[in-house]
């Protein structure tokens, strides 16, 4: 799967680990930064990932910041993006099944690498259920 990934400074270490693991698993991962622990602004990294996904150049996006909330807010400003903050496995599964989320946002403050990878794995392997959920998802963009 072709994935877009990015973080701000608070999510940098976790993003690096996720990127390396996903690449080792055979995914094509496009990294939009940041590339250090130096303080930076999360929208500068959320927007490129969101555009890659909304314009179809990447199938899904992964964003990491301190809480996941700021990245989610910024990514959701891009039409066609459905970004969800995920902390629990059930959320990762349901946001794909029910909401057809195409970007996952993670909070590095709350997740260690194994837990974050579990969430990403669920996000990447769970299919959208469609049906009544498709009608609801279609109503998101008006």
Q: Which residue has the tokens 């995914």?
A: 27
- Buried/exposed code over 38-54 (b: 16+ C-beta within 10 A; e: otherwise): eebebbebbbbbbbbbb
Decide if 40 is catalytic.
no
Residues making up the chain, counted from first to last: 142
Strand 60-65 and strand 103-107: the pairing is: parallel
Integer-rounded Cα radius of gyration of the chain:
14
Decide if 58 is catalytic.
no
User: Of these residues, 9, 51, 58, 65, which one is catalytic?
Assistant: 65
User: Of these residues, 47, 98, 115, 133, which one is catalytic?
Assistant: 98
Distance CA 118, CA 122 (A): 6
Q: Which residues are catalytic?
A: 65, 98
């Amino acid at each position: 799967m072709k994935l877009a990934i990015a973080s701000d400074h608070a999510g940098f270490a976790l993003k690096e680990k996720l990127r390396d693991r996903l690449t080792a698993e055979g995914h094509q991962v496009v990294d939009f930064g940041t590339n250090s622990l130096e303080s930076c602004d999360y929208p500068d990294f959320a927007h490129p990932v969101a555009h890659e996904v909304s314009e179809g150049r990447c199938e899904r996006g992964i964003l990491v910041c301190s809480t996941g909330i700021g990245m989610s807010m910024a990514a959701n400003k891009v039409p066609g993006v459905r970004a969800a903050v995920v902390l629990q496995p059930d959320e990762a599964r349901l946001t794909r099944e029910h909401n057809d989320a195409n970007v996952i946002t993670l909070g590095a403050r709350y997740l260690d690498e194994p837990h974050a990878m579990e969430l990403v794995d669920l996000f990447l392997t769970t299919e959208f259920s469609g049906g009544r959920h498709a009608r609801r998802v279609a109503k998101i963009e008006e």
